[in-house]
Amino acid sequence: MDEASLRWVRCRLVAGHGVASGRAATSPYPAGTIHLQAPYFAARGIDLSPFFAGTLNLEAARGHWRLRDPDARVEALEWTDRHPPETFSFWHCRLRVPAAAGGAVGSAGLAALIYYPHPETKRAHHQAPSCLELLAPWIPGLHPGAELELGVDPRRCRLIDPARLRARLLEFLKFRVLAAQEEFFVAFLVPQPGEAPGPPDPRPCLAPALAALGPSAALDSNRFRTWLQALWPEALDLDDADLLATLELACQLYVN
């Protein structure tokens, strides 16, 4: 990877669940999940042998991570009979370690790998949105609370501030809602039975009045995303719950 293009993010090492390494006393995988998964990943061209069979849990000081375009992805991996198959993605990165642990903050750092079990396929042991799991060589002397720097490709691994982005989206919607009132929201309604499939009308102001459809009409995040993709794709970094909450707040604030 091109180290000159990396963005360095200060992170704090936090205690994990102890399942990846098998150190948790209650873990159903005493050998650790990484040790068990490694042969399956190797069969798909992903070599984990340079790394310790456990993960470092790095928490960014602020913001939530948004990841896309992984360097490798494994779909529906059946690595255990204890739960359904899981999907995993990986991103190459660099890790700068503190001098006390034998590293130099100003150095190029160690080659590492972001390890991302997709939460929609993972039954338990989820991570906070500000936290990433890393595979790295064994680093002696590291303890929870240590400050490290993570070097990532900013085009594919980014931190966002959801609260700030929601506020900007609300402002973006303001005058569109004020102009169209209830009609603005009709294009984002959940499709009704018998409605023809296809993309939503990108011109909400031309849709029939929302009030005519009843107060129980639900909003569809996919339709809202399609509209945003054309007009303000930056907002797509928000998850579905945030998008719909902002859309509903715009309705409460700006519909007379």
Q: Which pLDDT tens digit goes with each residue over 203-229?
A: 444 344 444 445 446 889 999 999 999
Mean pLDDT within 80-93: 93
Mean pLDDT within 112-117: 97
- Domains of the chain, CATH where assigned: 7-159 (2.40.30.30), 162-191+203-254 (no CATH)
Give the separation between CA 94 and CA 207, rounded to whole angstroms: 50
Provide the pLDDT for residue 203: 41
Q: How far is residue 131 from each of residues 175, 230, 238, measured CA to CA in Å?
A: 36, 30, 17
pLDDT at 247 over 90: yes
Residue 44 in tokens:
């798909």
Residues whose CB is less than 8 angstroms from the CB of residue 95 and which lie 6 or more positions away in sequence, other chains included: 56, 109, 110, 112, 134, 136, 148, 149, 150, 151
Mean pLDDT within 145-161: 95
Share of the chain above pLDDT 70, in %: 77
Provide the pLDDT for residue 98: 73
Strand-pair partners of 66 = 158
Give the separation between CA 256 and CA 254, rounded to whole angstroms: 6
Helix axes 221-231, 240-254, angle to 10 degrees: 80
pLDDT at 106 over 60: no
Which of 3-7, 146-150, 152-156 is least confident?
A: 3-7
pLDDT at 101 over 50: yes
pLDDT at 130 over 80: yes
What single letter denotes the amino acid at residue 9?
A: V
Cβ–Cβ under 8 Å, residues 147 and 106: no
Provide the pLDDT for residue 207: 43
pTM: 0.78
